[in-house]
Amino acid sequence: MFREQGYVERCYCEAEAVRGCGCCGRARCESHLSDSLCDRCSRALTRELATLTGRAWAVGGVVGAVGVLGLMVAHVGPACILAAPAGIVAGYLQRRLQRRSVQAALAPVMSATKGELAAPPEPPAFPSAPTATYGSY
Ligand SMILES: [Zn+2]
Ligand SMILES: [Zn+2]
């Protein structure tokens, strides 16, 4: 009825598991957890975040630009020098928020699936060069 006390959860590499993955919850050993995520989840997370990086920095840029304008309107000294770090900080904060929300969105998928990650979606193919038919008009 009671589970054998000597039982230790094992990582897939057969080493003793130290913690569950922060995303899929599977038990993993120290070397297969980085940043409290298993290698599979951190790969999935990195991939998801890569598609969002541009947006995070766009938010940072907007905050920086608005900051510059706001400070200029308020006649506060060197607006750019003050607003630029604010933009960078906003970019980093946005990255962290994205990371958390992507991790939350991935968790049910990652715990329900195993094995290799699904192939990343193909990037949209650039419209092939117009098949110019010279001299046809
Ligand atoms: Zn391991
Ligand atoms: Zn995981």
Q: Which ligand is nearest to the CA of 108?
A: 2
- Find the 44 Cα to ligand 1 centroid distance in Å: 18
- Find the 89 Cα to ligand 2 centroid distance in Å: 28
Length of the chain: 137
- Domain boundaries in the chain? 9-47, 52-110
pLDDT on residue 133: 59
For the chain, list residues with pLDDT below 70: 1-6, 118-137
pLDDT on residue 6: 66
User: Which of 61, 37, 55, 42 is CA-nearest to residue 95?
Assistant: 55
- Find the 34 Cα to ligand 1 centroid distance in Å: 11
* Integer-rounded Cα radius of gyration of the chain: 24
H or E element: which one contains 82? helix 79-112
Q: Which ligand is nearest to the CA of 24?
A: 2
Tokens of 53: 């990086």
- Find the 39 Cα to ligand 1 centroid distance in Å: 9
- Find the 49 Cα to ligand 1 centroid distance in Å: 24
Q: Whole-structure pTM over 0.75, yes or no?
A: no
Distance from C-alpha of 113 to C-alpha of 107, rounded to nearest angstrom:
10
- Find the 103 Cα to ligand 2 centroid distance in Å: 10
